[in-house]
Amino acid sequence: MAITDRIRAEARRTIDGIKLYYEKYGQDLEDAEEKEHRIARIEAAMEGCNGLSQEDKVQKTAENLFELTCAQERAFDSMRKEIKLLRDENTQEFDILRRELKSGLNDVMNKIEDSGSDSSGKNTPSLASPPASGSLQNHFISKLISEHPLISLNAFLFVLLLVFISGHFDELAKLISPQ
């Protein structure tokens, strides 16, 4: 039995779509190589529809299944590579934003400390012995939140949004947890 017109038309549409895709989005030698493999798989599958003996059809089907399995594995590796690149890129951006936020908060805390005023607006004399570092940070953070609630809320929501988008919940936990 010969290959039907319907099968030829479907193969031609698929091959034309593959060529169009690579003309539009192909960027490197691996893409050109993959394009040729994909077209060859379509042609081999079409050939398996020809009037072959039962034994030849079984062999052709096995070869086509092998080609599809190999293509699937290459696509899987390619997707994992892209995911890793995106994850690494997001991690770097998150680290930059975290450093900027930490620096900005330190600047605000230093300004509050330099002003010497508490939340009631009264100037407080400097203490003879400074409190422990953790206590000092808590004092400045609470003073910052009480004097600038809108800025504090916006900063908190911004950080929470960044953590949600990047998927770095464990990083937030490390940042918040006591050392």
User: Quick one: DSSP state of residue 23?
Assistant: H
139 and 163 housed in the same domain: yes
Does residue 142 form part of some domain?
A: yes
Looking at 82, 105, 123, the residue that finishes a domain is: 82
Average pLDDT over every residue of 3-25: 88
Q: Are 108 and 144 in contact (CB under 8 A)?
A: yes
Site of tokens 């800025």: 151
Tokens in use for 81? 């590579």
Kindly tell me if the per-residue pLDDT of 135 is higher than 50: yes
User: Is residue 122 one of the residues assigned to a domain?
Assistant: no
- Whether 91 and 168 map to the same domain: the answer is yes
pLDDT digits (tens, 9 = 90+) for 66-110: 888 888 888 888 888 888 888 888 888 888 888 888 888 888 888
* Number of separate domains in the chain: 2
43 inside domain: yes
- Tell me what the pLDDT averaged over the chain comes to: 79
| Whether residues 98 and 74 fall in one domain | no
Say whether both 61 and 95 belong to one domain: no
Whether the predicted pLDDT of 124 surpasses 70 = no
Q: Which residues span the domain enclosing 65?
A: 5-82
Candidates 142, 150, 172; CA nearest to 159 is 172
pLDDT band at 126 (very low <50, low <70, confident <90, very high): very low
The CA distance from 15 to 46, in Å, is 12
pTM of the predicted protein model? 0.43
Percent of the chain with pLDDT over 90: 4
Q: Please give the full DSSP string across 34-103, using - where no structure is assigned.
A: HHHHHHHHHHHHHHTTSS--HHHHHHHHHHHHHHHHHHHHHHHHHHHHHHHHHHHHHHHHHHHHHHHHHH
Q: How far apart are CA 52 and CA 2, in angstroms?
A: 9
